[in-house]
Chain A
Amino acid sequence: MSFYFIALIKILVVIAVLLLALLYLQWVERKVIAHIQVRPGPYRVGPHGLLQPLADTIKLLTKEDLLPPGANRFLYMLAPFLAITLSLISIAVIPFGPIIEVAGTITYMQITDISIGVLFILAISSLTVYGIVLAGWSSNSKYPLLGGLRASAQMVSYELPMGMAVASVLLLSNSLSLREIVDTQSNYYWGFFPAWNVFREPFPQLISFIIFLVAIFAETNRIPFDLPEAETELVAGFHTEYSSMKFAGFFMAEYANMITASAMATTLFLGGWLPLWPEKFGSSYVPPAVFLAASALAFWGALGRARRQDRRTLPIAGAVFFLLAVMFLVHVVNFIVVPLFWFAAKTALILFTFMWVRGTLPRFRYDQLMGFTWKFLFPVAVVNLMITGLLVGLIG
């Protein structure tokens, strides 16, 4: 009984955090891109636009839900449902932290640890293309159809180099369970340098990390590979005909896919929840230091030339950051939140890269996109896999 109870609690916590992260990831992205383009971004709804996601949700909920004439009703309804469901499933096997003991029960910080976790995520991500393709086909409109066609070709093509990049990591870690993959990265070279798969001997997986990053950009349809929804050519691509919450469903699916893909990259290449340097050199004091610095910055901002409303909100933010910093020092929750901090920090770094690239690079042409994966990325991934296999066979 307690197994089901614990599983239920873990599922509720993970889903709540994931949905909140989805909402605010969009706010963070708008802010980051705004600052790259030297403008303030959302600013009006709540302090620094913090309530903007809620306002957007209300706006989308109250929009009219349209069904284009001649559309296939069943598939038109099914497509956003498929997209959002499949993008939320794969978070179930991502490990967020080590094995912990709370009130006498020992449990994983992960919804479930299955022996084929890597294959499970690859399988689910290979199904996500159906949501997009069906949306494009069932709308009975030319732009969505073109978007759907592009999506199916692009996602099938980029799965190959992604699979090859993951395979070379599997050669190093000798397991398909995501938890064991993280556990094999827990050593430190010379006592302080992390033995994550990016730096791992006998062959550092830096090349496969970059290939994996490029492939997940294409798999999640992000700039510079967002050809299925290229505004300048296809109006809005596969979701042109969708409105209201169905449109929001595609939007959420894209962000959920980004979060899962970043978490996967963290787990496979960046050592998951493991700290940057060993605990005996004080790595567990990094999170409180970071939050104390943020708190000090907020208080300093409130004292300086702040606007009238910022004089009220910035001290509140400072107090929240201070409480978070204290939380990292309390022994009761310490062992849970410190691994979570490292995991979230690495995932956030990759998510920031997504936004950074979106604010920096223009879109590829479609033939360049396909040529890039088949003529460059795939051969490089194969050579990388062969070198890794050879070195693991000779040395490892």
Chain B
Amino acid sequence: MHTVLFLIFAAIATGCGALVVTRRQPVSSALALVGVMVSLAALYLMLGGPFIAAVQIIVYAGAIVVLFIFVIMLLNAGRERRTEGSLMAPLLGIPLLISLVGALSYVVWRAFPETQMVRLGGNVVGTPAQVGRSLFTTYLLPFEITSVLILIAIVGAVVLAYKELD
């Protein structure tokens, strides 16, 4: 049951990921990105992280991609024009991609020789209480530093916007 669900959502995620790149209409790409986010949330749910799954949808699909679409609509971005790309791109790109994937899987295989299949369903590690407790005990410093980092980014955006107004 869980394996079938995993295969379905993994296929949706990969398919939508390919669509993000290949669609020529920016709004369609953004929508395919939503498909990736939602199927990732389903995968998180099966790995036992209900909180991460919900936050994935609320933050990524519900806020960030909405802002993407907002900007696309505001700038009225039309269809992408396809450049007459050189023949070198697929000739060089496909072998490089295959060797990169091969190298990565070799490194993972050598680094973790005694790995097992991921157990889907039944594991509960990411309940809201557990996530909250580890955020405010083990990972308190990184958590606070990240919030300061975001604050700096906001202040920077405000400063830049004001300069343009003058």
Contact = CB atoms under 8 A, between A and B. Distances in A.
B27 interface: yes
A189 B58 CA distance: 36
Contact of B66 (A75, A133, A176): A133
B128 to A, nearest CB: 6
Contact of B63 (A115, A116, A126): A126
A120 interface: yes
Given A123-B58, A137-B27, A130 B34 contact: yes
Interface string A164-192: 00000000000010000000000000000
A75 B50 contact: no
Interface in B50-76: 50-51, 53-55, 57-58, 61-63, 66-67, 69-70, 73-74
A25 interface: no
Contacts of A134: 27, 31
A120 B73 contact: no
A176 B58 CA distance: 15
Contacts of A72: 25, 27-28
Interface stretch (A27-35, A145-153, A201-209, A384-392): A145-153
Nearest to A155: B66
A226 interface: no
A114 B128 CA distance: 13
A235 B13 CA distance: 38
Nearest to A145: B73
Contacts of B51: 116, 119
A75 B62 CA distance: 18
Nearest to A116: B50
B14 interface: no
Contacts, number: 73
Contacts of A130: 31, 34, 66
Where chain B touches its partner, the secondary structure class is helix
A120 B70 contact: no
Interface in A62-98: 72, 75
Contacts of B28: 72, 75
Contacts of B66: 126, 129-130, 133, 152, 155-156
Contact of A116 (B34, B69, B74, B128): B128
B146 interface: no
Contact of A137 (B41, B58, B62, B73): B73
A229 interface: no
Nearest to A114: B50
Given A129-B66, A149-B73, A122 B54 contact: yes
B105 interface: no
B108 to A, nearest CB: 31
Contacts of A241: none
A123 B62 contact: yes
Size class of A's contact patch?
20 to 34
B127 interface: yes
A119 B62 contact: no
Contact of B62 (A114, A126, A138, A176): A126
Contacts of A149: 70, 73-74
B62 A127 contact: yes
Given A122-B58, A123-B58, A133 B63 contact: no
A127 B51 CA distance: 17
Given A145-B73, A148-B73, A120 B54 contact: yes
Contacts of A176: 128
Interface string A103-133: 0000000000011100110110011011001
A156 B73 contact: no
A109 to B, nearest CB: 23
A115 B50 CA distance: 8
A131 to B, nearest CB: 12
B126 to A, nearest CB: 10
A122 B74 CA distance: 26
A159 B63 CA distance: 9
A156 B67 contact: yes
A114 B41 CA distance: 15
Contacts of A133: 66, 69-70, 73
Contacts of B55: 119
Contacts of A136: 73
A127 B61 contact: yes
A159 B67 CA distance: 13
B49 to A, nearest CB: 10
A119 B41 CA distance: 13
Nearest to A115: B50
25 contacts: A72-B27, A116-B51, A116-B54, A119-B54, A119-B58, A119-B128, A120-B54, A126-B58, A126-B61, A126-B62, A126-B63, A126-B66, A127-B62, A130-B31, A130-B66, A133-B66, A134-B27, A137-B27, A149-B70, A152-B69, A152-B70, A152-B73, A153-B70, A156-B66, A156-B70
Given A115-B50, A145-B73, 16 more contacts: A72-B28, A75-B27, A75-B31, A114-B50, A116-B53, A116-B128, A123-B54, A129-B66, A133-B66, A138-B27, A148-B73, A152-B70, A156-B63, A159-B62, A159-B63, A176-B128
